[in-house]
Amino acid sequence: EVQLVESGGGLVKPGGSLRLSCAASGFTFSSYSMNWVRQAPGKGLEWVSSISSSSSYIYYADSVKGRFTISRDNAKNSLYLQMNSLRAEDTAVYYCARSSAEWELLHPFDYWGQGTLVTVSS
């Protein structure tokens, strides 16, 4: 069974940093591209970042470019999102999600974690 479990969310002050993790199991993690998607309270879904299976290709939304860094450790079956210079507008539930096709980066997201809440407030 495919499982994605996020962790690392919490309350942080504006300008602060946080590192999110996503532990994957039930599939060959190293074969799939992975993604972060966020959802502000009461709002819709916003794609944040994607990383290819070997980390060769990385993409970011303009809203987080230069502040967030996506990475992965295939040996640990884990995905990460380092978030720096956090702003109030970064407050959201952050989901990790798997791209649905092996070796394909730009593909629908077929499995999602339960999300971790990040709150940026003084």
Partner 1 sequence: EIVMTQSPATLSVSPGERATLSCRASQSVSSNLAWYQQKPGQAPRLLIYGASTRATGIPARFSGSGSGTEFTLTISSLQSEDFAVYYCQQYNNWPPPFGQGTKVEIK
Binding site for partner 1 (CB under 8 A): 37, 44-47, 50, 59, 61-62, 95, 100, 106-110, 112-115
Least Å distance, CB 76 to partner 1, is: 22
Q: Tokens standing for 50?
A: 């994607």
Picking from 61, 116, 63, the residue whose alpha carbon sits closest to that of residue 86 is: 63
Closer CB to partner 1, residue 66 or residue 75? 66
Phi, psi of 6 (to 5 degrees): -85, 155
Closer CB to partner 1, residue 24 or residue 37? 37
Strands 10-12, 45-51: pairing kind:
unpaired
Least Å distance, CB 63 to partner 1, is: 10
Closer CB to partner 1, residue 78 or residue 117? 117
SS3 label, residue 50: strand
Least Å distance, CB 108 to partner 1, is: 4
Closer CB to partner 1, residue 44 or residue 122? 44
Cβ-based neighbour number of residue 17 at 10 Å: 12
